[in-house]
Structure 1
Amino acid sequence: MATLVRYNRTPSFFNPFYVRPAVTRFYNTRPNVPAANVKETETGFTLVLATPGLKKEDLKINVENNILTIAYKPEATETAETFTHHEFGVNAFERGFRLPKSVNADQIAASYTDGILTVTLPKVDVKEEKLVKEIAIA
């Protein structure tokens, strides 16, 4: 009998592209990381994250050492609700993006509309210095 699900039985330390078996993908065992799209234009980059159900005040965006970090940490609230089955909810996440040298970090802007976080990363002209150095032989 043929199966539609193929398993990679090679342990992850042998295969750097190891993917968990498809059966575990149906459960919420993955860390909660929002999906992202990056689009490059002549003037810059546009980073779009799908973050439905969040408030813009709860999202934190910062740049440090050419790494753009977007994080969400929900406030600790106690609820008296008891669920028989619970799949809906948003967990804390942190996602980092390495910025190219052509991005002007001082002019990064962000907006949040209808569950979509849009981060605009303008480009700056980077003149590549060609290092030509003559080395004397001693």
Structure 2
Amino acid sequence: MSLIKRNDMLFPSLMNEIFKPDWFGGMENFKTFPAVNIKENEKDFELALSVPGRSKEDFNIEIDDNILAVSAEVGSRKEDVKESYTRKEFGYASFKRSFALPESVDVEKIDASYENGILKFHLPKREEALPKPKRVLELS
């Protein structure tokens, strides 16, 4: 790793490291972990993953024992190389994210959609977990 001297302190040059061809250990081992937003509303949760450049068919979504698991694999590990590339970064990529669902989620009513690179989940709460209206008691 090259170092840059700055104000009598040494800092690693990240730019040199980033542009090394093997920075990620090769595309065969490259895994991405999509960013996620989770929002709780009164009646549900909203979960959104940023996964651009995929198609609906790329995703594998499973719910087992109150664990929501989302994974995807894109590309091929084996390909016939007929051209000589100076640098080739397209290739195989995968990820897997798992989320422990709260007991308040009605697992049977979960739905999902994928649009504009965002994988969205609607996680409705069980009826008994929804807030109850305020009740006023009259004294007897």
Normalising TM by the smaller chain, what interval? Answer: 0.5 to 0.7
TM-score, scaled relative to structure 1:
0.66
1:31 is aligned to 31
Mark the CA change 1:69 to 1:60 in structure 2 (over 3 Å): closer, same or farther: same
Query: SS of the counterpart of 1:100?
Result: coil
1:55 equivalent in structure 2: 55
* Structure-2 change in CA distance of 1:37 and 1:3 (3 Å): farther
Quick one: percent identity of the two aligned structures? Answer: 37
C-alpha contact 2:75 2:92 (8 A) present in aligned 1: no
Q: Which runs of 5+ in 1 are unaligned?
A: 6-21, 128-138
Q: Count matched residues.
A: 111
TM-score (norm 2): 0.66
Give the number of the structure whose alpha-carbon radius of gyration is greater.
2
**TM-superposed deviation, 1:79:** 4.9
- Higher strand fraction: Structure 1 or Structure 2? 2
SS state at 1:61 partner: strand
Residue in 2 that maps onto 1:85: 87
CA RMSD, 1 decimal: 2.8
How far apart, CA to CA, are the structure 1 residues paired with 2:11 and 2:43? 45
Query: Deviation digits for residues 29-48 of structure 1, max 9, x if unmatched?
Result: 56311111111111111111
Shift in alpha-carbon separation, 1:104–1:90, aligned structure 2, 3 A: farther
DSSP 3-state at the match of 1:73: strand
1:116 counterpart residue number: 118
Higher share of residues assigned helix: 2
Residues 48, 119 of structure 1: 8 Å contact kept: yes
Note the residue ranges of structure 2 that are not aligned, 5 or more in a row.
1-7, 131-140
**Ranges of 4+ aligned residues in structure 1 off by more than 4 Å:** none
